[in-house]
Amino acid sequence: MKQPEASFSLASLNVVLVEPEIPPNTGSIARLCGATNSVLHLIHPLGFKVDDKNLRRAGLDYWSDVIVRHHSDFNAFMSENAGGDFFYFSTRGKHIYTEAEFTPGCYLVFGKETEGLPASLLEENIERSFYLPIWGKVRSLNLSNAVGIVLYDAYRRLEIWK
C-alpha cells in the first residue's frame, strides 16, 4: 500500500496528556505521534517514570522519532503555549468530537485515564470541550484509542494527506 505524501511543517498537531498514569497507553500514544509527526506534551506529575520498561516497550524503537515535551504542571504548559488553539476531550465534553473545527498546530488535550480532565478545566472551557460517542455500557474508551481516533480525524479534516 502506497504511503500518502504529507506536508507537516505548519500543520503538525499537538497531543497533550494531562498527568497520564498508564505507561503502555503513553507509549502507544507516543508511537502515534511519531507516525503522524505530532508533538507529544506530557503534563506532570506522571503516574510512572519515563524510563519505565512498559513505556519503552509500547513505543518500541520509535522514541528517537517522537518530539516529546515535558511540562511541570498544566499552568506551566499553558504559559508556555499561550495563544494556542486548544480542544479538550472528555466523556463529559459538551460537543461531539466531529464538531471540532481543528486548525493546523492546534492542541488536543486529554486527561488521565482514571479521572479524565479536571472538572474546573472543563467548566472554564466548556465550549471547547468534546466527547467521543459511546453507545454501549462501557464508561469510556481506552486513552490511546481515543487519541488515535481524534488525531487521525483531525489530520483527515485538515487534508494533510492528499
DSSP string, 77-131: HHHHTTT--EEEE-TT-SEEGGG----TT-EEEE-BTTTBS-HHHHHHTGGGEEE
pLDDT at residue 52, rounded to an integer: 54
In a domain, 98, yes or no: yes
Round to whole Å and give the CA distance between 156 and 159: 5
pLDDT at residue 54, rounded to an integer: 61
Contact 86, 59 (CB under 8 A): no
Residue 139: pLDDT over 70: yes
In a domain, 162, yes or no: no
- Measure Cα distances from 120 to 60, 61, 92, 109, 125 in Å: 36, 37, 12, 14, 9
**Each residue of 17-68: pLDDT tens digit?**
999 999 889 989 998 999 899 999 999 999 877 775 666 665 556 777 889 9
In a domain, 33, yes or no: yes
Q: Could you tell me the CATH number of the domain that includes residue 63?
A: 3.40.1280.10
In a domain, 5, yes or no: no
Domain count, the chain: 1
Which residue range(s) make up the domain with 117? 14-157
In a domain, 138, yes or no: yes
In a domain, 88, yes or no: yes
In a domain, 36, yes or no: yes
In a domain, 2, yes or no: no
Residue 8: pLDDT over 90: no
